[in-house]
Structure 1
Amino acid sequence: MANIVWHTKLRIKLDLTLDDLDHPELPDLWETIYRTDRYYAQRGIPVHERDLQCGGVCRDAGVEAWMHLRLRANGRREAVHERSEDEERHIVPMSDEHKAYQERILRAAQDGGFDADSEVRTRVGRSWIQTDTLVEGADGRRIGWEVQLSSASSDGLRSVRARASKAAKNGITPAWHTDRADYANRHDTHWTRSNHLPAYVIAKTGDLRVISGFRALDFWRCDIHAVYPCPQGVRRCGKAHATPKPRDVLFDDLVRQTAAGTIVPIQFRTPTKVHRFWVTHTDKDRLDDLYNNDTQLPPIKDDDAAFTIASRNQPTCRPGDAATTPVTLQTPSTIPRITAPQAVVPAQPPAPAVETGTAPAALPATPAQPQRPSGAHPAAGQVGLPETLIALQQAADHEHTKLQQCDGYEERKQQRLVWFEAAAAAQAAITQYARTKRFNRFEVQQEVHRIVRQPGEAPGE
């Protein structure tokens, strides 16, 4: 196929990449030429009698290469050579560096016990996929290595996204390698990059380092101790995040570990774009857990990141009620254990109270029958919490413990769904109870967690 066509009767060149074929003075030129070519085809007129020749490489070489037009379903215009030998004239010869990379991939894969072959054509429907080097990995895994070096032309990357997407849809994991920084900075596929080296160095058995495309994930919590800015653009959100950090890896190890499945491709989303790179399978599993936990069960903030914004509601107690009200409202992380009715309510709490917009229930006059779960008590019945809330939270924590003990990816995936359902049931019950009793939902949840879990144990998130 070619993009430049020579019309023998009109004596003009047609650029199929332009809407007007580079002839704005001739309106509807493409429709006229394409309908004429289709009419010739329906009448059975041979291609070499349809007035169209290759106007690029073949014409420059002094060869009359006849062509016919084709319009793809996606609207792409193509000019196809009549003879295959004319088509081969447009293929750029493979460089020595490209051949050296292919040989190195084959050797690295075979040393790892994997089968590999170069220039592999895989049939896909009515067309095919041609891969520079195809590695047959473990568990049916297929890694298609494509080498795109600095000797490529300016049009060499035009179809990268389409080729990578087509390979992925047909069970081939695309792995593109280059020695150009501008290629490696693209995000249309999973690029890796090495330094620009001559062929004899690439072909050696010594270390060939990959300096871009492989990263390690640094997991951290967004609190006052974090060294990274919050990716959500706020001061400190209290959630857990992951930050990719560049790491070098040896090219031979990369070939073998991608085939074995210990290094896998991921798509890392940021507020502005999607980054594609390679990480270890352990980091990928941890990232999946982080995303699932963060979206389903937001983590409770740590003590040092406790609520510091004052509530807009009125306080639930007054200094004049100290003699009759033994219960205090403080931050959830500093709720005291009340053992006697002589507890005194301070005139101003050391930290602002955190409440919902719902009006609080009236506090009891005596401490013998507390109705709000703001105090810490040894059992649910002593604070008026239903046993159902305790049972549901225990079931959710039990499923979370089972998730941490899973090893396989599929097993973790199934157990995570079970945990989500149990946790959702517990959270719904807490919400319904707090709404019915007109209690602060956060305080109810904190009291349930305190009863179910041991002191100092982190909530299952």
Structure 2
Amino acid sequence: MANIVWHTKLRIHLDLTLDDLGHGEHEGLWDMVYGMDRMYAARAVPVAERDLQCGGVCQEAGVVAPMYLRMRNERREAVHERREDEDRHTVTISDEHKAYQERILRAAEAGGFRGDSEVRTRVGRSWIQTDTLIEGADGLRVGWEVQLSTAGIDGPRSVRARAAKAQRNGITPAWHTDRNDYAHRHDTQWTRSNNLPAHVIAKTGDLRVVSGFRKLDFWHCDLHADHPCPYGVRRCGKFHATPVPKDILFDDLVRNTAAGAVVPVQFRTLNKTHRFWATCADHDRYNDLLSNDDQLPAVTEDVRTPSRASHNPPTCRPDLTITSSATATPTTPQMPTPTSSGLLAVQLTGPAPETTAPQTIGESVLAGPGRSADAGPELLETLVELQRAANAARNALQGLSDRQERERQQHVLLEAAQRAQAAITRYATSQGLNRFDVQQTVQGAARDTQA
């Protein structure tokens, strides 16, 4: 439910908390609007065609959300047609969820693919809501859903139903989580990374997928085989495939799924269907094996990207503490000591924790890799001024009761917010920075200076 309703025919906002709906010059406005909506309902007119839409959170998010009116306990109420629109008013997206969305878009753009977050796709008279939709090669569409909270297995709004609906309408579902229990569910192709804070997820580093990606081993079921026969006999003499866990970097997974080099697989055993991701070559060989298990499928050429060593620090070790250079204790590296055999005994050590020096606000965000931090404060101040203007316009709107003044101020607020967001997007894109980090820094600085 919402208090602000947008009337598409009258082109006005209706505030249900006010007796005159915010339009004192129109006497009997509620009786007219409510009576028309009840007439539409009596004639079975769809809610989407009744001229009423959410004029609050949904409209600010750019979403068309049809509504209908009702009276309950002598109270006026506007109700959303769809549950997902209602949830938009109550469910707050976590910082970790936003960081994953930013990372998916950044990884896709690095591979030459475009995408967008919170995408609504029309399907008949209903919609499909996708966290992040990536437009891949040859018309391929991959819908990434980041699930960091509890999700049901059965029901019309369950993971199984939502994934099946997306797949029926040309969207390949890709569900990612940080919860270990989802690794044992097979209602869709789950991938999992370690539980990490938002600032670690958002930064450019090697975020590793620890579950959900498999390599298929193809083998002959004879006395020399390492795997047991899946049919429960000693040796059947046929050829089989066995999925083996394999790590992959999250950014590579995003790009390869968009390119079609990594595809969803449904691996069937005698009593269960396992769902995971695998390379396109393994998928094709598995299909060949299902059609004829009397001979080993031919090895097909896999689509591979050039292999190179990564210089990015890993983001899969949140237990590493980041200390300031002012407080870090310098350590003297120890040289290997020669052994009695004349060889050097080398001690293997893990990567050293990163150290960061104290920085002024915005300096770490605006001064990306290879960029000078000297221009950071000036550029930050420009973005902060635009954000201050948007905040001031929003504050001015709250104190207005006159309808014309509110409409004029709403236009001012919309233009100011668009200018601030567009400036942040342009700067983050041109500098190769994380837009989420830039926006958080700018908004925090604007609040501090206006307080």
Q: Per chain length, whose mean CA-contact separation is higher, i.e. which structure has more relative contact order (CA < 8 Å, sep 6+)?
A: 2
Structure with max Cα Rg? 1
